[in-house]
Amino acid sequence: MIKNDLFLRALKGETVDRPPVWMMRQAGRYLPEFMEIREKYDFFTRCRTPELASEITVQPIRRFGMDAAILFSDILVIPQAMDIEVQMKPNFGPYLPNPIRKAEDVDRVVVPNIGDSLGYVMDAIKMTKEKLNDEIPLIGFAGSPWTILCYCVQGQGSKSFDMAKGFCFTQPKAAHELLQKITDITIAYLKEKVSAGCDAVQIFDSWGGMLSPTDYQTFSWRYIQQIVDALKDRAPVIVFGKGCWFALHEMAKSGASAIGVDWTCTAQNARYLTGGKITLQGNFDPARLLSPPEDIKKMVRQMIDEFGKDRYIVNLGHGILPNVPVENAKAFIDAAKQYAP
């Protein structure tokens, strides 16, 4: 039994004394203890070494005492497992030297055996569960098929993902074949994560907001729905789409346990668009963690008041920025933990 099950109770919609709190990307780049590890090991070595991944996962928990841990990993381990080369370049980000641009490229993409290609992730989960010692739940995650396609086709990060969109619009058959392959491996991957010990999973649709509402249904949501359908009876599923306020109504009907909201959508609108009966997560602007700690505490209290303490998980509206002072991150967590209606 998990001692602090506040996060899992919020996902079930139960009445709680205060909402649980965690932060997207809480394991990583803003922490000095993470920086020490980063000096010694490159990015994918950290992801692929269970001892390192599990240590990085629990670092913020030791420091701040969040109500949930999220496994240190990356959404791009999926294309790597599919035999697509992914590099992480310092001060640049992801780089895929051989992007997918035509149907023949899609044909070469493999749907691998999860144990063979991503077994190191399962080992990291088991090590992390040991370190957490049933104190709090562990979240596993994956990128949405559309978001993974964006990197696979564009070959790197982008402000517009014009090549990825162009691929979908000019070669829809190949695009849907690739999206389905990514979906199939993602479902298998998340099922294995739950079997290895993850208590909940989150799907990150980081680039969903790049699409129009119509194209979102065609190239993103239909694949996310497949993942939710496959996982929802095994573990709670959280769906987070950045810039996807237009899809909140659809997301709320999906069978997911919670919907993540970014900072461009108010609590009132998020509750309205989702029908008021599903757990919401978010939506503090990560850049607001650069504000003075006292201001952060006030804003967090106000945010909770606006969402309401029940069916709510305190979080950021996207991942924490690397230049956030540690004391500001602490102010965010403390404000949620000290909340009293």
The answer to whether the beta carbons of residues 45 and 312 sit under 8 Å apart is no
- Taking alpha carbons only, the member of 174, 141, 165, 156 closest to residue 68 is 141
Task: Write the CATH number for 229.
Answer: 3.20.20.210
Residue 258 lies in a domain: yes
Question: Which residue carries 């780089």 as its tokens?
Answer: 95
pLDDT-derived band at 327 (thresholds 50, 70, 90) equals very high
Kindly state whether residue 241 falls inside one of the protein's structural domains: yes
Provide the 10 A C-beta neighbour count for residue 1: 4
In this predicted model, what pLDDT tens digit does every residue of 2-57 receive, in sequence order? 999 999 999 999 999 999 999 999 999 999 999 999 999 999 999 999 999 999 99
Domain assignment present for 231: yes
Out of 38, 101, 222, 234, pick the active-site residue. Answer: 38
- 301 catalytic? Reply is no
Range of the domain at 240: 6-337
Catalytic residue status for 25: yes
Q: Do residues 5 and 137 touch, judged by C-beta distance below 8 A?
A: yes
Q: Is 26 annotated for ligand binding?
A: yes
Overall pTM surpassing 0.95 (yes/no)? yes
Catalytic residue of the set 9, 29, 234, 301 = 29
Residue 19 lies in a domain: yes
Of the candidates 153, 270, 139, 134, the residue with the CA atom closest to the CA atom of residue 193: 139
Does residue 1 lie in a domain region? no
25 is in an annotated binding site: yes
Annotated active-site residue in 5, 67, 151, 199: 151
Residue 223, marked binder: no
Residue 214 lies in a domain: yes
Instruction: Establish whether 29 is a catalytic residue.
Output: yes
Asked if residue 250 belongs to a domain, the reply is: yes
Structure confidence by residue, pLDDT tens digits, 212-260:
999 999 999 999 999 999 999 999 999 999 999 999 999 999 999 999 9
The answer to whether position 17 is within a domain reads: yes
- Are 274 and 246 a contacting pair, CB within 8 Å? no
Which of 9, 74, 120, 184 is the catalytic position? Answer: 74
Q: Is 29 annotated as a binding residue?
A: yes
Judge whether residue 91 has pLDDT over 90. no
Is 222 an annotated catalytic residue? no
Task: List the alpha helices (DSSP H) in the chain.
Answer: 6-11, 32-40, 43-48, 50-64, 77-81, 103-108, 114-132, 145-154, 162-170, 172-196, 213-216, 222-231, 248-252, 267-274, 293-307, 326-337
> How many other β-carbons are positioned within 10 Å of the β-carbon of residue 340?
7
12's tokens: 């079930």
pLDDT of residue 168: 98
Please indicate if the annotation marks 28 as binding a ligand. yes
> Mind giving me the DSSP string for 84-122?
---EEETTTEEE-SS---SHHHHHH-----HHHHHHHHH
How many structural domains is the chain composed of?
1
